[in-house]
Amino acid sequence: MSTTSLQTPDLVIDGRAVPTSERLDVRNPATGAVIGASPVCTPEQLDGAFAAAGCAAASWRADLDRRRAALGSAAAALVGAIDELAPLLQAEQGKPMREARLEVKAAAYWLGHYATTDLARETLRDDGKAIVEVRRRPVGIVAAITPWNFPLLLACWKIGPALAAGCTMVLKPSPYTPLSTLRMGEVLNGVLPPGVLNVVAGRDELGPWMTGHPAVRKVTFTGSVATGKRVMAAAADDLKRVTLELGGNDAAILLDDADPGAIAKQLFWSAFLNAGQLCCAVKRVYVPTALRSELVDALSAEAERVVLGDGAARETTMGPLNNRPQLDHVRSVVAEAVGAGARSTNAGGAVPDVGHFFAPTILDGADDTMRVVADEQFGPALPVIAYDDVEDALARANAGTYGLGGSVWGQDEDRAAALAERLECGTAWVNTHYANDPGQPFGGLKWSGIGVENGRWGVETFTELQVVHRARG
């Protein structure tokens, strides 16, 4: 993308570009510059998108082989468009270009994975009296709503399984990052039949219009806990199915045989990837008291090495927060923790003059009463909490309403795994964090979500079981 050309994508409805009379500015979070304008979908245009998804549904659901082939082509189309999509994603989201390219590649990899989906029916009984089979029917038209941290990848976590299952979709990105998703929609519509994937954008009010729309049979939502609850309430009236991927407050527990120096780099980037704006980032670290200062020093050294800046610059290793409310939130929870006695050992605090920058910050001496520990900071600040009894650390890690991910770090892998299994979360990692794969189900316990995405389990959430019972004789 040329940084000087204003990006003005249209809605993508029924395979066509649909212009809107109103547009919203989209800004680069590193510079504040307007880089494009999002279309603002009207209720009538949204009706049109759902009508198109309805028209496409019958032939799309009828042929799994065709769907597989189309998803394979979709993956190839994304890879082919990487030089256009990555700069657009980088400019509106803020992440370093290297990470933007990795996100496009991962999005394509995810779509490609679902090109091998199998939805075989299962025979429960086949004898002289009856044949009883269980089959999976596509649930119907899907409303998909995504956040601003990984707009392309998280959209493909929905597009791949839903389309593989035989559903058609209307997708809505966040108003902060609409441009790359709309462009991805155009690219994918080059290989998908019209109406199978429609992409709309607008203000936050568009979300409730979608979740309340009578054509929708399933809402798949990724975003905050607060919005997730609203989505579920909106879906209840019509008993729409929901999958909710919500916030996380992942704990990492170091055991007493962990080597802080050896794991510091991996642990640091498990917390600070995408400037900490990752649902399943490490959001708090519990460390034995005897290892605390060694760990804080090692993490602080990693923070010093970060090159904070505009993600478009080759040397940048960490970009800004995506938007002003998020920056204000991180500033506030860190200031509150420091006011309550945590020691901020950040990388000197030097940040560029413009943009939503926050220097990577390690908070030594944090405790569970601080908001930065008890809630999701979703930014580049990592509290370190010392413990004396590992059972106590586990109880503190499991306290609270979140349950997305968690990890245990130590040289005795079996001992670490035994503790990891006792974490109350959807994915428990050992000596790593946020590692993921399209074949692996991903979801949260408690307020971190309902249902899972990815793997055959993720595909199944876009289906409903039907029993076909044939009597014989």
Task: Report the interface residues with ligand NAD, using CB under 6 A.
Answer: 145-149, 154, 172, 174-175, 204, 207-208, 211, 222-224, 227, 230-231, 245-248, 279, 376, 378, 404, 444, 449
Q: Are 317 and 307 contacting, i.e. CB atoms less than 8 angstroms apart?
A: yes
The answer to whether 114 and 160 are in contact (CB under 8 A) is yes
At which residue do the structure tokens 């520990």 appear? 373
Query: For the CA atoms of 86, 90, 96, 102, what is the dihedral angle to 10 degrees?
Result: -30
Please say which residue, 364 or 376, places its beta carbon nearer to ligand NAD. 376
The CA-based dihedral angle spanning residues 64, 65, 66, 71, taken in that order and rounded to the nearest 10 degrees: 90
Q: Of 142, 171, 210, give the one whose Cα is nearest residue 451.
A: 142
Q: What gap in Å lies between CA 374 and CA 155, rounded to an integer?
A: 29
Judging by beta carbons within 10 Å of its beta carbon (0-12, 13-18, 19+), is residue 339 exposed, middle or buried?
exposed
Question: By Cβ distance, which residue is nearest to ligand NAD?
Answer: 207
Of the residues 92, 99, 103, 245, only one is catalytic, namely 245
Instruction: Report the nearest approach of ligand NAD to the CB of residue 449 (Å).
Output: 6
User: How near is the Cβ of 211 to ligand NAD at its closest, in Å?
Assistant: 5
CB 73 within 8 A of CB 191: yes
E strand map for 98-255: 122-126, 130-138, 142-145, 169-172, 197-199, 218-222, 241-245, 250-254
Q: How far is the CB of 443 from ligand NAD (least distance, A)?
A: 8
Contact indicator for 252, 433 with CB cutoff of 8 Å: yes
Asked whether 256 and 215 are in contact (CB, 8 A), the reply is no
> Taking CA 177 as the corner, what is the angle to CA 173 and CA 181, rounded to the nearest 5 degrees?
55
Which member of 167, 279, 280, 425 is catalytic? 279
* Torsions phi, psi for 24 (to 5 deg): -120, 135
CA distance 172 to 147: 9
Residue with tokens 């607008």: 202
**Closest CB to ligand NAD among 205 and 392?**
205
Shortest distance in whole angstroms from residue 373 CB to ligand NAD: 16
Nearer to ligand NAD among residue 276 and residue 410 (C-beta): 276
Beta-bridge partners for 450: 244
3-state SS, residue 103? helix
Cβ proximity to ligand NAD: between 193 and 212 the closer is 212
Beta carbon nearer to ligand NAD, 287 or 425: 425
Residues 73, 65 contacting (CB under 8 angstroms): no
* 279 included as an active-site residue: yes
In 3D space, the residue among 135, 146, 148, 147 whose CA is nearest the CA of residue 169 turns out to be 146
Whole-angstrom CA distances from 377 to 90, 144, 204, 212 are 22, 25, 22, 30
Please give the span between the terminal C-alpha atoms of the chain, in angstroms, as a whole number. Answer: 67
- Closer to ligand NAD by Cβ: residue 268 or 378: 378
Residue 248 CB, shortest distance to ligand NAD, in Å, is 5
Q: Measured from the CB atom, is 303 or 321 closer to ligand NAD?
A: 321
Phi, psi of 427 (to 5 degrees): -130, 125
Residue with Cβ nearer ligand NAD (195 or 276)? 276
Closer of 279 and 347 to ligand NAD (Cβ) = 279
List active site positions.
245, 279
